[in-house]
Amino acid sequence: MSRHAEITISSRNADTCAQARHLLSEFGDVRAIPADLSRHDECQRLADLVEVDSERLDILINNAGAMWREPLETFPDEAWDSVIDLNIKSPFWLVQALLPALCGAGTADDPARIINIGSIAAIHVAESPNYSYASSKAALHQLTRVFARELGPRHVTVNAVAPGPFPSQMMASTLDAIGDTIAAKAPLRRLGRHDDMAGTAVFLASRAGSYLTGTIIPVDGGIATTATGT
């Protein structure tokens, strides 16, 4: 028997939320809630609104993220605070607030799922100076493992996807400048596509992924996992 999916999406920008809801609405019931997830109170507000309609949550995907590129000599304090708050504190706060709903949904045969979006910047050292971003994603990978060990007995799996270069708002300027060079260096000789990421998330959320927890899956065309020193 198939179950009907009810999806809640969130972004800091209300227009972005509305646009995404419009695009996704043909696939099911989609609710959009604008929220600034770099703030603890906003994470709690979002969690409360999610739990209004249901006391169970089958899947939580922590995807919000920020990056700051600047040379070491001028890298500012705010480049740490804003990135750390969104990239590592926010996933922790959301898991904390939504844990009762996740535990209420999970069973031994069909655990609830937490999918964190990390980065290959936490697996290898990128050429760009993104100190707080790489550090925050490495912390998120470790938090994924810590949560996996703690929440497994409560029927919740926790895994992370570590994307390589994908077309996105965050990567737009980099790919415009050196996208062809990045693709040429990848063993698969291309950038990521949206369905590459979607397929990995669907796998983790499906029955096929129900016995995986604490994993970090690089989806990068082999860039980080086959890197060699020069």
Residues designated catalytic: 133
Q: Cβ(104)–Cβ(151) under 8 Å? A: no
- Cα–Cα distance for residue pair 48/106, rounded to 1 Å: 19
- Cα–Cα distance for residue pair 159/161, rounded to 1 Å: 7
Centre a 10 Å sphere on the Cβ of residue 126 and count the other Cβ atoms it contains: 17
Q: At what angle do helices 40-53 and 90-105 cross, to 10 degrees?
A: 20
Three-class DSSP category at 159: strand
- Cα–Cα distance for residue pair 103/122, rounded to 1 Å: 29
Side chain identity, residue 129: P
- Cα–Cα distance for residue pair 171/220, rounded to 1 Å: 14
Tokens in use for 214?
């604490």
Centre a 10 Å sphere on the Cβ of residue 74 and count the other Cβ atoms it contains: 8
